[in-house]
Every structure is written in structure tokens, then in C-alpha cells.
């Protein structure tokens, strides 16, 4: 049976082939208001195809906001960096399945941004844009964290107790100011640091899975002698 989601990618090759478009157009996470970015990219065929797929697959009963499609490209760019770095660090990224915009079964029509699935591990991954106002930024993280916890719990309630379901939230900052044609170096550094934190989290949980294989368990017996 197929898993319902906007897209399902089996491994890094499928995901990179899909997201390569972002490199072709040099997509940037811009600081302009989302409504302005929507207007700028309203004729983008890639975005319009994502919207069509969303409606065709009946991902949600709620109308899709155009602003969401812009954040999809932002997070696809971040996910691309994540997968490439995991590959460089020796993780078997061909065995990671990525589910994008997964509608939670019995979840009151909520959706996760991404699920990373590896062996008996499910990572519920949520992204949020860092607001300019510091107080509101903290509120943004808290809100996304609570959503992530809720999503994890809903999934954990429906799968075997032998499946590890964990959650993670990454708040990112805009990396480019198109109005002034500036690269926001400090924000780029911040995002890279957050990506590294996410990489460490993913690797830690994947290593746990790898150590649960029968051969690893037999090896661990020898370690005690």
C-alpha cells in the first residue's frame, strides 16, 4: 500500500534529482515578506506543479496557501544540504526515505513538514522561519516544537512499540536580501550551524539503529570478553 504524502523519495539520488532545480535557478531563502515572494514567483512552473500535486493528491481538506509553497522551496534547499552532508559523513543515505508533507492519519488533518524513515526509525522534522522580532522568534520555536511533539505522538500511537519515533525542529533565517542584493552572511552561518546540529541528531539516531542489527549485537558480545 502506498503512503500518502505530497512526495516520497527513496534515498538521496531520487531526492537530489527532484531538488536539483533549486540549484539550477540559484534559489535563495530571501528575507522579503512571503506575500512579496509569492508575487515574484507566481509564474514559476515548478511551484505551480507542486500546487497541482497537492490538490491532485488531496493532501488536505484545507485550501493551500501560496505562502506555503515558497517555504517548501526554502526547506527543500535545507533538506538538500542535510542529505549531502549525511552522505559525506558516510551515512547510507540510499536507505533513508523522505516523505514530504505527510498528512497524519487520525491527526485532525495536520501535516508534518518531513518524515525521515530509516530501518525502524522515524524522524518527524519540522521547519520554521526565524522572525525578526526576538520575542516572536522564541514563540515561533515553541509553537513549532509543540506541533512536532504532537505529530510524533500521533505517529507513535499508531505504529509498533519497536519503532523509534523522534522529533526535531529547525528554525532557520533568511540568507539573502534581494531588495539590496546582499548575502546575509551572519544568517548563512547561523543556518549552517543549525544544519550541523540537525546532522548530529540524525546521525546519532541512525547509529542507534545500526547498532541494533543482529551482527552488531553479536559483535557487542565479544566486546564484553
Q: Express each pLDDT in 186-204 by its tens digit.
A: 999 999 999 999 999 999 9
pTM reported for the whole predicted model: 0.92
Provide the grid cell at 222: 565479544
Instruction: Give, for 139, the enclosing helix (H) or strand (E).
Output: helix 134-158
- In the block, cell 515578506 appears at 33
Phi, psi angles (nearest 5°) of residue 122: -125, 120
User: pLDDT tens, 82-103?
Assistant: 999 999 999 999 999 999 999 9
Q: Which residues contact 72 (CB under 8 A, 6 or more apart)?
A: 47, 50, 100, 101
d(CA 21, CA 24): 5
What pLDDT score does 140 carry?
A: 76
Q: What is the mean pLDDT of residues 128-153?
A: 80
Q: What is the DSSP string of 158-225?
A: HS-TTSEEEEEEEEE---EETTTTEE-HHHHHHHHHHHHHHHHHHHHHHHHHHTTSHHHHHHHHHHT-
What pLDDT score does 135 carry?
A: 59
d(CA 71, CA 84): 20
Query: How sure is the predictor about 222, in pLDDT bands with cuts at 50, 70 and 90?
Result: confident
Least confident of 94-98, 134-138, 163-167: 134-138
Query: How sure is the predictor about 33, in pLDDT bands with cuts at 50, 70 and 90?
Result: very high
What pLDDT score does 76 carry?
A: 98
Query: How sure is the predictor about 224, in pLDDT bands with cuts at 50, 70 and 90?
Result: low
> DSSP state, 107?
S
d(CA 86, CA 209): 15
**In the chain, % of residues over pLDDT 70:** 95
Amino acid at each position: 500500500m502506498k503512503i500518502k504524502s505530497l512526495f516520497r523519495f527513496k534515498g538521496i539520488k531520487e531526492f537530489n534529482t527532484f531538488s536539483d532545480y533549486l540549484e539550477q535557478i540559484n534559489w535563495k531563502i530571501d528575507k522579503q515578506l512571503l506575500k512579496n515572494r509569492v508575487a515574484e514567483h507566481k509564474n514559476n512552473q515548478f511551484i505551480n506543479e507542486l500546487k497541482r500535486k497537492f490538490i491532485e493528491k488531496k493532501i488536505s481538506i484545507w485550501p493551500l496557501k501560496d505562502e506555503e509553497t515558497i517555504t517548501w522551496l526554502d526547506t527543500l534547499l535545507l533538506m538538500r544540504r542535510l542529505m549531502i552532508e549525511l552522505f559525506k559523513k558516510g551515512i547510507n543515505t540510499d536507505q533513508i526515505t523522505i516523505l514530504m508533507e505527510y498528512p497524519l492519519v487520525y491527526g485532525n488533518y495536520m501535516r508534518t513538514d518531513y518524515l525521515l524513515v530509516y530501518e525502524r526509525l522515524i524522524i518527524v522534522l519540522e521547519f520554521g522561519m526565524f522572525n525578526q522580532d526576538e520575542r516572536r522568534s522564541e514563540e515561533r520555536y515553541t509553537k513549532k516544537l509543540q506541533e512536532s511533539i504532537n505529530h510524533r505522538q500521533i505517529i507513535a500511537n499508531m505504529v509498533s512499540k519497536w519503532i523509534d519515533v523522534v522529533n526535531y525542529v529547525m528554525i532557520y533565517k533568511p540568507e539573502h536580501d534581494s531588495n539590496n542584493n546582499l548575502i546575509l552572511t551572519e544568517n548563512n552561518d547561523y543556518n549552517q550551524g543549525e544544519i550541523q546540529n540537525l546532522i548530529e541528531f540524525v546521525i546519532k539516531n541512525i547509529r542507534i539503529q545500526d547498532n541494533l542489527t543482529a551482527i552488531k549485537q553479536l559483535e557487542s558480545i565479544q566486546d564484553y570478553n
